[in-house]
Structure 1
Amino acid sequence: MKFALGRTVAALAVSCLAAAGIGAEAAADPVGAFYQPPVGFDSAPGSIIRTQPTSILATVPGEQWPVPGQLVLYTSQRQDGSPVAVSGAYVPGTRPWQGSGPRPTIVIAPGTTGQGDQCAASVAVSTGLAVDVGRRSISPNQEAVALAAWSALGANVFLTDYIGLGTPGVHTYVNRAESAHAVLDAARAAVRLAGTPTPLAFWGYSQGGGATAAAAELQPEYAPELDLKGVWSGAPPADLTAVIGRIDSGNLIGGAIGFALNGFRERHPELAVEVDRRITPQGRATLDTLATECIGDVILRQPFLRSTALTVDGRSLPQHLLEIPAATAVLDAQRIGHRVPSVPVLVTSGINDDTIPYDQVRQMAQYWCARGATVTFRTNHLPAIAPGATLPNHFGPELIDGFVDNVIPYLLDRLAGKPVTGCTFD
Structure 2
Amino acid sequence: MRRTLTALTIAVGLMSMLFVSAPVASAGPDDPVPPPGTMYTSPVDLTGKNNGDVLDSRRFTSPLYPGADIWQLRYRSSDSRGDAIAAVTTVLAPADRAPGGPLLSYQPFVNALGLQCAPSESLFGADLTTGVQEREFLNLALVRGWTVAVPDHLGPKSAYGAAKLGGQITLDGVRAAQRVPELGLAASPVGMAGYSGGGMATAWAAALAPTYAPELNIVGAAAGGVPADLDNIARALGFQPHQAFGLAFAAALGLEREYPDRLPISAQLNDTGLALKEQVANACTPVILAAGAFKSALAVSTNTSLVDSPEAQRIIDENSLVKYAGVPTAPTLLWASDNDPLIPIAALRDTAGRYCANGATLQFDIVHAPQHIQAAFEGLPAALTFLDNRFRGVAPPTNCLR
Query: 1:311 corresponds to which residue?
Result: 301
Deviation at 1:344, TM superposition (A): 1.1
Shift in Å at residue 406 of structure 1? 0.8
Q: Which residue of 1 aligns with 2:216?
A: 226
Q: 1:182 and 2:172 equivalent? A: no
Where relative contact order (Cα < 8 A, 6+ residues apart) is larger, the structure is 2
TM-score when scaled to structure 1? 0.77
- Where 1:417 maps in the other structure, the secondary structure is coil
Distance 1:284 1:374, change over 3 A: farther
Rate the CA distance shift 1:294–1:401 in 2: closer, same or farther, 3 A. same
2:12 maps to what in 1? none
Work out whether residues 31 and 123 of structure 1, in 8 Å CA contact, stay in contact via their aligned partners in 2. no
Match of 2:388 in 1: 412
| Secondary structure of 1:92's aligned partner | strand
Q: CA, structure 1 residues 87+424, in 2 after alignment: closer, same or farther (shift >3 Å)?
A: same
Residues 31 and 117 in structure 1, CA contact (< 8 A), matched pair in contact too? no
For 1:25-424, what aligned pairs fall within 5 Å after superposition?
A: 30-41=35-46, 43-56=49-62, 58=64, 63-64=66-67, 67-95=68-96, 103-129=101-127, 140-164=131-155, 167=156, 170-193=157-180, 194-195=183-184, 196-246=186-236, 252-273=243-264, 275-276=265-266, 278-312=268-302, 319-320=306-307, 323-337=308-322, 338=324, 339-382=326-369, 384=370, 393-402=371-380, 405-420=381-396, 422-424=398-400
Letter matched to residue 152 of structure 1: V
Structure 1: distance between partners of 2:34 and 2:77: 23
The AA in structure 1 aligned to 2:205 is A
For residues 313 and 290 of structure 1, the distance between their equivalents in structure 2, rounded to whole angstroms, comes to 21
Q: Matched residues, percent identical?
A: 25
After superposing the two structures, state which structure 1 stretch, 253-262 or 151-160, moved more: 253-262
CA distance in 1: counterparts of 2:63 and 2:226, whole angstroms: 27
Residue by residue over 1:97-122, the C-alpha shift from the partner in whole angstroms, topping out at 9 and shown as x without a partner, is 7xxx9511000111123111111111
CA deviations over 1:133-169 (Å, ceiling 9, x no partner) = xxxxx754432222111111110011001243xx4xx
Once the two structures are TM-superposed, the CA of residue 45 in structure 1 deviates from its matched residue by 0.8
Contact kept, 8 Å, 2:39 with 2:88, in 1: the verdict is no
Deviation at 1:250, TM superposition (A): 5.6
Q: Judging changes above 3 Å, is the alpha-carbon distance between structure 1 residues 48 and 346 closer, same or farther for their aligned structure 2 residues?
A: same
Report the CA distance between 1:421 and its aligned residue.
5.6
Deviates more, 1:183-192 or 1:280-289: 280-289
Q: Which amino acid aligns with 1:109?
A: Q
RMSD value, Cα: 2.7
Which residue does the alignment assign to 2:29?
Answer: none
